[in-house]
Structures are given as structure tokens and as C-alpha cells.
Amino acid sequence: MSKKKKETPVLAPSHFDLVVRGGHVVTSEGIVEADLGIVDGQIVRVASMITEDASEVVEAHGRYVFPGIMDAHVHFNEPGRTDWEGIAHGSLALAAGGGTCFFDMPLNSEPPVIDAASLRTKRALAEEKSCTDFALWGGLVPGNLDRLAGLRDAGAIGLKAFMCHSGIDSFRNVDPHTLREGMKRAAKLGLIVAVHAEDDELAARYTAEQKAKGRFNVRAYLASRPVEVELAAIRQAVEFAGETGCALHVVHVSSPEGLALITEAKAQRVDVSAETCPHYLLFNEHDVVKLGAVAKCSPVIRDERSRLALWAELRAGDIQTIGSDHSPSPPALKTSKDFFAIWGGIAGVQHGFQLLFNECGETLERDLPLLAAVLARNVARRFRLDEHKGRLAEGFDADFTLLEVTKKKHTITANELWTQHRLSPYVGRQSRVRITHTYVRGQPIWSDGRIAPATRKGKFLQPQR
């Protein structure tokens, strides 16, 4: 079957495969009460009332129809570390949380994705095992400059680089020379570069200082990564982006100060965007002290003032995307008396996004369009997938999720986790928002708390060139 081109007018169908009826359809422009008519996995009509026949009707009265969440930042760890998560578990947990597509990071799979062959290997695995659509990041590491073109040709969504030690020895962090040179080449190849922005030297120095004082607890870890560690790296990355003309995406920005540097650079026409993660919007440092290992990540979660400032920046439009940075590990790696030795990574792909909806509380209606922008539309735009993804509109893929706001609060339990290991900092948290359904290209993946039987396999997404 040939794909409809955008300019081809869609004929008025007399029969739909699926109609989503009576929901409050959320777009980044606002919320409208409308029916969605779907044929061959695409939205072909958005209208106040669709009366034609449909093979299937989903009643969405009283619910929000939200665009499928595009999570541009996950670590599903396959191949090589499937005992940490794996694509099948990870994509299912994502769908249960309203996600319809993920971008897997080049680490912590083994081999890491640093050339075309390793990208193709991961692609084949994901095509077989993912229940959602997906894209794949390639890595920018010392020594692979000559393989970046191969990554582009194999369909990488972009290149990811670490500016400090990644925690995985097979994925080395870039030195300034490699980053600058890599960005120069990426700009020529039309590839966006994403950076984990923490300064390696500063992080190492502050860590050594804490350890020298005999401090190894959670507070020592938090103290070892003050905001200047993040700022120094953002400054450098932004400078290189300006110099090379490379598109830059700073992942998991944890502080309003970091965002300010990015906003400033944008004003000077540097092509840079900022991602933050649900955990920076949902937790503060006191929560990390209480929760311990499950809330360990880097950059670290900061104080309440920063958390509230991030919400303000989000509402002001200064955060372009939100990704989960889902980075699970086996429980054994989460237990040590030495907090520095514990695996750093938050497993939040299933609940992080829905808790953002819950956090909006009374202002949910007002905030939903904004969340539709940062969770779907902007992701599709920034990564050039916006021909068919990211919006609930005619001509777009029927990727959506149904949200219900319940009267009673629900307490999240470990039992409801679809991740391989039932570890999440969100267990025990209460929410009024429930994801009841997730559809990928018109097919149900997640349905009323259950995996839908006819689970379609994921499609590999490549940026438009």
C-alpha cells in the first residue's frame, strides 16, 4: 500500500476503520470537542460529528484525546543489557504511560550504537520487539568521526555525546576537540547533536572532594554536582554550536540557570533546544534524600526553588521538549552504602508523563495544549518527523492516548509497572489522572489497563532529509 502524500487531497471516506467519538481533543493550539475518523492508521477527518460507518468506535466522552507522547530520550539497553530492561518491556511501559514512540539512546546497549552496523542491529531488534514506533540515536565518541556519515545513512535521528563520564566504559565521553569537530561534521551531514551537559573536570573534582572528607551518602552525591557543573558544559556546547552552525539539543536540563543560558543563545540565533525530564518537575532534593537510590540521576535533582522555576519556564515556552531519560538497572546495582557507586538513572517511562498532567491540578485544561507541544509537536518538529507525527490533525498518524481525570486519587503501586524491574521513584505517589488507552497508527496497544491483543510492531522513524 502506498503512503498518501501530504499534498494529495484526502477523499471523503464513507467508511472508517476507527472513530474516536466525543473526546476533548488536545492540540498545542487548544482543546476542541471533536470526533476523529481514522483510515489505514491515519487521521483522515477531525469533525464535530462523524456519522459514517466505522468498523470500530472508541467512546471518549469525558476524556481527553492527547497526542501520542514522543519520548526522545530512553535507554532500553538492548542488545547487550536486556537484563536491565529490553525493548519489549520498555516500549510496553511507555505505551502504558501514553507514549507512542521512543528514541533509544546509543548507550547502554552493547555494542553501543557508534556506527552503521550497530544501528542496524538495534533497528532489527526493535522492529521485532517494540510495540510502539521508534527512532535511534547514534553516538558521537572519540574515534568515530569517520563513521558519522554511516550513522546518518543508516537513519540515525541524531548524535548523542557525553561531556562527562557516561557510567559505561564502552561509551566514552567527548573531549572538547572531538565535540567541536563532531559538531562541524554533524552540521554538514544535517544531524542534530544532543549533549549530556556536565563538565567532566568539575564533576570529578567535586566528587573527589566529598570522598576525601569521607562522605559517601546521598547528600554528598548531591553536593558533588552543583549547578556550575551543568552550566560550564552548557556554555561550551552552546559556544561550539554557534561556531559550527550545528543544531544542538541539550538533554535533561535540570536548572533554570541552565535554561537561561540556552534561551540567551537562542536569542543570538544559535540553533539550540532544551529538554527537561519529568523528575526535575516532580521532585526536589529533599525527595531525593528520602527516596535514595531510585531517585539518583545526573544532573542531580535540585531545590524546590529550581523545580518551581522550571514549571514557570515551561509555561513561558522556554523548554522545548520533555523526555523521560528512562534509565533502569537491575535492583542489585541500586544497593550500596556508597551512594556514588549506585547506578544513576531514573526508571520513569511509565509514570513520569502522566504525573505531569496530575501536577497541573486545577490548571490542567490550560496546561494541556502546552504539554501537547513539549511532549509531541515540538519533538516531531525538532527531529524532523513532523510530516506525519506529533499532532492530532488530518493527514497525521493516529497516535493518541486517552486521559481520564478521576474523582478519587489512585496510588501508584509496584505491581502496575510494566518495566522489567519493578523499581520506580513514583511508586507510592498519588494521581488523579489515568491513561486508559494508547493507540499507535490506529491500533490499540494499551487498553483499560491491559495490553491489547493485536499489538502491532513498531515502525522505524527516520528524519526527513
Alpha helices in 112-166 (DSSP H): 116-129, 148-153
Site string for Zn ion, 267-306 (x = CB under 5 A): ----------------------------------------
Does 71 bind Zn ion (CB under 5 A)? Our answer is no
Nearest distance, CB of residue 108 and Zn ion, angstroms: 9
Nearest distance, CB of residue 85 and Zn ion, angstroms: 13
Residues 305-334 that bind Zn ion (CB under 5 A): 325
Q: Which one, 137 or 396, has the nearer CB to Zn ion?
A: 137
Residues 122-141 that bind Zn ion (CB under 5 A): none
Nearest distance, CB of residue 252 and Zn ion, angstroms: 7
Q: Which one, 198 or 285, has the nearer CB to Zn ion?
A: 198
Buried b (16+ CB within 10 A) or exposed e, 111-131: bbbbbbebbebbbebbeebbb
Distance separating alpha carbons of residues 210 and 201, to the nearest angstrom:
15
Regarding beta strands 15-27 and 30-39, do their DSSP bridges make them parallel or antiparallel, or are they unpaired?
A: antiparallel
User: Judging by beta carbons within 10 Å of its beta carbon (0-12, 13-18, 19+), is residue 89 exposed, middle or buried?
Assistant: buried
Q: Which one, 36 or 163, has the nearer CB to Zn ion?
A: 163
Q: Which one, 54 or 135, has the nearer CB to Zn ion?
A: 135
Q: Which one, 199 or 325, has the nearer CB to Zn ion?
A: 325
Residue 279 and residue 425 in contact, taking contact as beta carbons nearer than 8 Å: yes
Q: Please give the residue whose beta carbon sits closest to Zn ion in the complex.
A: 325
Residue 269 has which C-alpha cell? 540565533
Nearest distance, CB of residue 345 and Zn ion, angstroms: 7
User: Which residues, in sequence order, are CB contacts of 294 under 8 Å at separation 6+?
Assistant: 334, 346, 347, 423, 424, 425
* C-beta neighbour count of 93 within 10 angstroms: 27
Sheet (strand 272-276) strand order: 69-74, 99-104, 133-139, 158-162, 193-196, 248-250, 272-276, 321-322
The three-state secondary structure class of 40 is: coil
Nearest distance, CB of residue 253 and Zn ion, angstroms: 12
Q: Which one, 313 or 325, has the nearer CB to Zn ion?
A: 325
Nearest distance, CB of residue 71 and Zn ion, angstroms: 11
Q: Which one, 200 or 325, has the nearer CB to Zn ion?
A: 325
Type of residue numbered 326 = H
Please work out the total of residues on this chain that contact Zn ion, with binding judged by CB under 5 A.
1
Nearest distance, CB of residue 327 and Zn ion, angstroms: 5
Q: What are the residues binding Zn ion (CB under 5 A)? A: 325
